[in-house]
Structure 1
Amino acid sequence: MPRVVVFDEFGGPDVMHVVEEPVVEPAAGEVRVRIEAFAVNPLDQMMRSGASPAPVPLPHARLGVEGTGVVDALGPEVTEVALGDPVILTAIPDASVRGSYAEYTTLPASRVVARPAGLGITEAAAIWVAYSTAYGALVEKARMRPGDHVLITAASGGVGRAAMQIANQIGAVPIAVTRHTAKRDELLSAGAAAVVAVDDKGFVEAVRHHTGGTGADIVLDVVMGPGQLDLLKAARPGGTLVAAGFLDPRPTPFPSGPPLTIFSYRSFEHTLDAVVVKRMAAFMNAGVRLGALRPAIDTVFALDDVVEAHRHLENGPRAGRKIVVTP
């Protein structure tokens, strides 16, 4: 029988175990996907440990919000995909029930898109969450345009790396924000036009230097916390800040400084919208075809080693490179 990763209590990586379950037939409007690879995300760690903001029912909870595979079965009334189609999973809002940490899963046919040609299986497993988040925040929310100077926090993370690539694809100017100047060369190689360090007392002046004295047109803040005040000072009057993360658990002060448009963004805002998902998929296909978009892979584990994959996740940052598991 097919294998699936489940956990019956909250805790460390060891609470996960692999079990066998009968294959499930897709309901009306659903497809069954044979999973070829899935990525390990921080949200998975939060769900497993009990830190998820959304409730996770126990026992026998599942994990996994992204992955790639082949359509294995069609439910009634499905016409938009066919048997054997290679696809990417775009949203699994009930990941605790039918997450991608498995050999098979079922989900609505509207929640899969065609896998971009030229993208390897491990890369396809790791592209959607980071790139759809960065695209949604910058393109759909902030309306990023060619020539915009875009200040990107946590630039060495998965969303940050995706944001730099997406900005370059559009013709904007990505300015990477990092805590450590030692990452400068690595971030420049990853696509940054310039790198500024938050531990530098001249942070705001450095941003203005790289923007011709005007300040950033768009700020993508996936960190939040007290450091947001400096980001606001580094933005131009009339610019846009998109708050799309919460890496810093400390309180974020009330915004002050130049007049800005401020958005709060969560990826499910767009990944559950079929019209926007169609635009996202078209953008990613074009980016992959042109060589502008390419996720970086850190380590690939087998399904039986999923506990080790989570231990590796907890060991620390991987410069935006994703951990992937192949059933």
Structure 2
Amino acid sequence: MKTTDKSGSATSGTEIARVVRFSKTGGPEVLQIESLEIPAPASHEVRIRVKAIGLNRAESMWRSGNYIEAPVLPARLGYDASGIVDAVGSDVKHLKAGDEVGTIPAFSQNDYGVYGELILMPQHAVIKNPPLLAFEQVAAIWNPFITSYSALIDVAKLSAGEFVLIPAASSSVGLAAIQVANMVGAVPVAITRSGSKKQRLLAAGATYVIATEEEDIVAEVMKITNGKGAEVIFDPVGGPVFAKLLESLARGGQIFLYGALSDEVTPLPLIEVLNKIPVIRGHTVWDTTKDPERVEKARIFIFKGLAEGFLKPVIAKVFPFEQIVEAHRFLESNEQIGKIVVTI
């Protein structure tokens, strides 16, 4: 039921909607679709009728209990969604009911989650959609592009002619990093395990592709860079391969660790550290998304890239909402090239 609050802002009463939660950590099968009451938005919140959800590996780690914070059970999940504003709180001035919007990863999943038909979001995590993009495409842009932008452009200041190594290059963030690098004239070098993805990564914009099961990373990088090494490495994996990445770095180069997909110990070879004098950074997208000025700079960069054709969301597969468990199984298969999207 629609009502009006004392300030005159449009609001809605509580509604029942289907949402995804889990009551214990574990595999994809712990995800359950439940009917819950979704209240009217608080003064700083936006309520959104979701049309599409973009899945991230962070959410499978959260679901399995291996994320950087522990879920408070029963837990919701999800960062990326797009839909239509249903209602806004009294303090929300930049959005109104009927606006088409997307969400950015600017909150804890213990506070909010986007896996649902109707969701609440803090206003700072909601951005109007760029022109001409479908809901499915919007659900595939924000986490990949803002994560890549925040590390490569905002912090690393990646510039034309510099080499950037991109492990897990077939992931949605990896593909976004390739595009961001190309947008500024840098040279993206995709790192993948198997040569089976090589041609698709080249077609996606990688200048070079190195398959770690078939080629020596260090030898290939030194051949590509004429012995100098890469100026930037953008790594979501860690683990034993990190030593090879460090050896592939140019002296004084930067390594960004923005994930921990490997279950194995990440070594730190001290001789290489002394030789390379690297800058090794732990990086999370929240460094950017919780700063309104940096978010606006990211939005301008991403909108420009989309408008000029440098940035294009890559969707690997689309699942219906009712198949959220199957979607998470596919997410963990590592078979996909691009973003997995769930539609409602």
Tell me which of 51, 58, 61 is aligned to 1:43.
58
Distance 2:261 2:36 in 1: 36
Deviates more, 1:253-262 or 1:132-141: 253-262
CA RMSD of aligned residues (A): 1.8
Q: Assess, with a 3 A threshold, how the Cα gap between structure 1 residues 222 and 23 changes in structure 2: closer, same or farther.
A: closer
Shift of 1:305: 2.0
Q: Assess, with a 3 A threshold, how the Cα gap between structure 1 residues 128 and 254 changes in structure 2: closer, same or farther.
A: same
Does the CA-based 8 Å contact 1:92-1:98 persist in structure 2? no
Q: How is 1:173-252 mapped onto 2 (pairs within 5 angstroms)?
A: 173-200=187-214, 202-252=216-266
> Identity across aligned pairs (percent)?
38
Shift of 1:180: 2.2
Shift of 1:97: 4.4
Q: TM-score, normalised by structure 2?
A: 0.88
Distance 2:308 2:195 in 1: 31
* Alignment-mate amino acid for residue 26 of structure 1: P
Paired position in structure 2 for 1:263 = 281
Paired position in structure 1 for 2:109 = 95
Distance 2:78 2:215 in 1: 40
Distance 1:239 1:167 in 2: 16
Q: 1:322 and 2:339 equivalent? A: yes
Deviates more, 1:254-263 or 1:223-232: 254-263
Does the CA-based 8 Å contact 1:157-1:317 persist in structure 2? no
Distance 1:262 1:83 in 2: 44
* Alignment-mate amino acid for residue 231 of structure 1: L
Distance 1:29 1:283 in 2: 26
- 5+ residue gaps, structure 2: 1-15
Paired position in structure 1 for 2:26 = 11
* Alignment-mate amino acid for residue 235 of structure 2: D
Paired position in structure 2 for 1:281 = 299
Does the CA-based 8 Å contact 2:330-2:336 persist in structure 1? no
SS of the counterpart of 1:95? Answer: coil
SS of the counterpart of 1:220? Answer: strand
Shift of 1:96: 3.7
Distance 1:15 1:36 in 2: 23
Shift of 1:168: 0.5
Q: 1:305 and 2:323 equivalent? A: yes
Residues matched between the structures, number? 325
- 5+ residue gaps, structure 1: none
Does the CA-based 8 Å contact 1:141-1:263 persist in structure 2? no
Does the CA-based 8 Å contact 1:116-1:284 persist in structure 2? no
Q: Assess, with a 3 A threshold, how the Cα gap between structure 1 residues 142 and 98 changes in structure 2: closer, same or farther.
A: same
Shift of 1:89: 0.5
Paired position in structure 2 for 1:29 = 44
